Amino acid sequence: MSDKERVKATWQRLEKWLGENFPPALENLRDPATDEAIASVESQIQMLLPQAVKESFKIHNGEEHNYLPGVLADEFWLIPLEHACETWRQLKDLAVELFGNEDNPTQWRSQVEGGIIFIKGSVKPLIGSPKWFPIADMNGDIIRFLDFDPPDGGTVGQVIEIDAEACQFQVIAPSFLEHLEQYAADLEAGLYAIEDGYLQSRDRLSLEELRIWGVPEYLKK
Q: What burial class does residue 149 get, using C-beta atoms within 10 Å of its C-beta: 0-12 exposed, 13-18 middle, 19+ buried?
A: middle
Q: Which of 48, 4, 21, 44 is nearest to 199 (CA)?
A: 21
Per-residue pLDDT, averaged over 2-11, amounts to: 97
Distance from C-alpha of 85 to C-alpha of 79, rounded to nearest angstrom: 10
Q: Which domain holds residue 112?
A: 3-219
Per-residue pLDDT, averaged over 170-191, amounts to: 96
Give residue 141's pLDDT.
87
Residue range 74-124, pLDDT digits in tens? 999 999 999 999 999 999 888 888 777 778 899 999 999 999 999 999 999
CATH number at residue 160: 3.40.1580.10
Give residue 204's pLDDT.
62
Give percent of the chain above pLDDT 90.
72
Number of domains the chain contains: 1
Distance from C-alpha of 114 to C-alpha of 17, rounded to nearest angstrom: 43
pTM for this prediction: 0.92
Question: Is the Cα torsion angle 199, 201, 202, 205 positive or negative in sign?
Answer: negative
Quickly state the pLDDT bin for 52 (edges 50, 70, 90).
very high
Q: Which of 82-96, 190-204, 206-220 has the lowest mean pLDDT?
A: 206-220
